[in-house]
Structures are given as C-alpha cells and as structure tokens.
Amino acid sequence: CQSLPTNLLFQLLGLSVAMLSTVTRYGLHFTLISSISLENNSYRVFHHAAFYCGLCLSMTLILAALLSSAATVRESPLLGATGFFCFALAFCGLLPAACWRYTHGTEVEDSMMDVYDLVYEEVRRNISSFRRHELTAIHEAFLCCGKHSPFGDTANVESRTCPPGQARDAGRDCLQEIQDFLKKHMDLVSTLLGVTIGFTIYGMFLTSFLWFSIHFSSNLARKGKYILR
C-alpha cells in the first residue's frame, strides 16, 4: 500500500509547484514586464495563466496526497478512489502543459522581448517621458544596457536609461539578457513538469493498488465481522 513518506513526498512536490508559480507571478522581472505590457500583448495572459494553473495543480497534488494518506490509515476504498481521481486530474492537466511548453514555449520569450522593443523604441523617438522610467527599471532589473538597433545611434537612449557602471560597451544586450533569463526559468519549469508527471503516474499506480488491496482483500473486507454457522 501507499506509504506515508511517499505521500509526504507528493506534498513537497505540490509545494514546489506552488513556490515556482508564486515566483513566476510575483518575481520582479515578471511583474515588471507584465505591468509595462499593453493589453494586446499576449505576455500578460501567459503571466496570469501560469500562476493560476500552477496553483490549481499544486492544490490537486497536495489534496491527492492527503486523501491517499487518509485512505491508507482508514482503509477506505472511497478515499483511495478519490485520491486516484485527483492524481488522474493532475496528470490530465500536466500533459497539455508539457506539450504547450515544447510547441509554444518561444511565444513567451517573444512576447517579453516585444515589450522591451516597444518601450525602447518609444524612448528613442521621445514619445513618452514615462516610458524612459520604465526602460530604466528594465535595465536595472535585468542588469543590461540597451540593444543593437537598426535605426541608428542609440547612445543617447542608453546614457539616460542604463544603470551606473553599465555602459553600452561593457553592458549586455537586453534582448539577449531577457532571452537567457527566460530560458533558465523555462528549463526549470520543464524539469519540474517532467518530475511531476513521473510522480503523478507513480501516484496513480499506488492509489489504484491501494484501492484493489482494500476492496478485494479478504482480511480487509471483513474488518472484524464474523458469521456463525
């Protein structure tokens, strides 16, 4: 049957998913880009969807672990079946998320860089003074300085928005820095997705075995009831 340490491992995995979702939602780099992005930019949709989907997934995993623990202690087939359903529900949510990660993962990266391009070009054309503060905040958050632009000299923009010590010659291209930062984060997401899918399948096998053990075992089925003939 399913052991309590195994259920504790599932709870820790659910907490890990919740922590990563919270970092994605409230991390400085992500909230900064989300607050700057326009309504027609898809990044804000990705930002909110990643948080709520991750939160639902983590709660489902924790609930499945708690139900499996209760089923083990109380020898309840109903709790075991409910735990299996929660694991199956998490698995059905994880598979589309993993497929989307490998087929549309670059869309998140492109949307973040589109936000930077928009802010940078508006500052370069002196369209908005408020955009200059936003561009400065991006440079400070990502520790980068400007970008290579095909529209001419950008030294004036970078001298006004780059943090001290991040001169254009010494600083990193911001588009490259955003791309590298997001790649590291998405690699972490992919690793956690793979581990979670593996443990979810393992949890479905364990809870199904637990249910069959409780339901069909003669010792557990009688539960102390005797019939005198």
Q: Please give the DSSP secondary-structure letter assigned to residue 143.
A: T
Query: What pLDDT is recorded for position 106?
Result: 84
pLDDT band at 152 (very low <50, low <70, confident <90, very high): low
The average confidence (pLDDT) of the chain is: 83
Q: Which two tokens stand for residue 29?
A: 């780099």
Q: How confident is the model at residue 217 (pLDDT cuts 50, 70, 90)?
A: low
Task: Place 125 in a pLDDT band, splitting at 50, 70 and 90.
Answer: confident
pLDDT recorded at residue 226:
45
Q: CA–CA distance from 71 to each of 4, 139, 213 (Å)?
A: 11, 53, 11
Q: Give the ranges where 75-173 is alpha helix by DSSP (H).
A: 77-124, 129-142, 155-161
Is the pLDDT at 3 greater than 60? The verdict is: no
Residue 126 in this model has a pLDDT that exceeds 90:
no
Confidence of residue 221 (pLDDT cuts 50, 70, 90): very low
> What 3-state DSSP class applies to 227?
coil
